[in-house]
């Protein structure tokens, strides 16, 4: 059983870490371990935060995903990778993606992102524009089919 002072210090660190934005359980565990708290202390603090509802991976996944879709216009593959890097499990990621892309049409997201980017390449020939747009949309995490359809619609030959 960890010392009460150490436990209090770990809780305070964790709460301060949560003031900036929500965190996943994985992020919180990594943060506390990086601050050199031992495993039993980390477990107790994370359980405490989960009981209070301060750490909730499902809520985090939806909020983070919605933010990334609405502000960055990320496609399914990129968002899946981002959520995986946050330490979330595959089942939770798949459920989150299903829900979020039920609310947002991926083809419309790709089109909106492309329309915002195209003016930067207005002086290039069509072939170069198509190349750059396809690369841009792939980096945003859209499927090959979505990339192809978007490029064909916006820059037809």
Digit-coded pLDDT (tens) for 69-120? 999 999 999 999 999 999 999 999 999 999 999 999 999 999 999 999 999 9
Mean pLDDT within 21-39: 96
- What DSSP character marks residue 140? T
SS3 labels along 28-69: HHHHHHHCCCCHHHHHHHHHHHHHHCCCCHHHHHHHHHHHHH
Question: Closest by alpha carbon to 77, among 110, 115, 116, 112?
Answer: 110
pLDDT tens across 44-83, in order?
999 999 999 999 999 999 999 999 999 999 999 999 999 9
Question: Closest by alpha carbon to 138, among 77, 54, 87, 88?
Answer: 77
With a CB cutoff of 8 Å and minimum separation 6, the contacts of 60 are 22, 23, 24, 86, 88
pLDDT at res. 1: 65
pLDDT tens across 13-27, in order?
999 999 999 999 999
Mean pLDDT computed over every residue of the chain: 95
Q: What is the pLDDT confidence band of residue 157, given thresholds at 50, 70 and 90?
A: confident
With a CB cutoff of 8 Å and minimum separation 6, the contacts of 81 are 141
Q: What is the pLDDT confidence band of residue 3, given thresholds at 50, 70 and 90?
A: confident
What's the CATH fold of domain 4-52?
Arc Repressor Mutant, subunit A (1.10.10)
Separation between Cα atoms, residue 127 and residue 124, nearest integer Å: 8
């Amino acid at each position: 059983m960890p010392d009460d002072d150490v436990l209090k210090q770990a809780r305070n660190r964790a709460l301060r870490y949560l003031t900036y934005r929500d965190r996943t359980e994985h992020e919180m565990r990594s943060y506390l371990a990086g601050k050199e708290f031992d495993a039993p202390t980390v477990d107790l603090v994370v359980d405490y935060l989960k009981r209070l509802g301060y750490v909730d991976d499902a809520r985090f996944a939806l909020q983070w995903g919605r933010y990334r879709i609405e502000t960055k216009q990320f496609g399914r593959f990129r968002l899946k990778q981002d959520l995986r890097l946050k330490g979330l499990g595959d089942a939770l990621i798949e459920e989150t993606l299903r829900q979020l892309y039920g609310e947002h049409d991926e083809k419309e997201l790709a089109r909106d992102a492309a329309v915002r980017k195209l003016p930067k390449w207005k002086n290039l020939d069509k072939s170069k524009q198509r190349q750059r747009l396809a690369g841009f949309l792939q980096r945003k995490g859209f499927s090959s089919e979505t990339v192809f359809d978007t490029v064909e619609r916006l820059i037809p030959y």
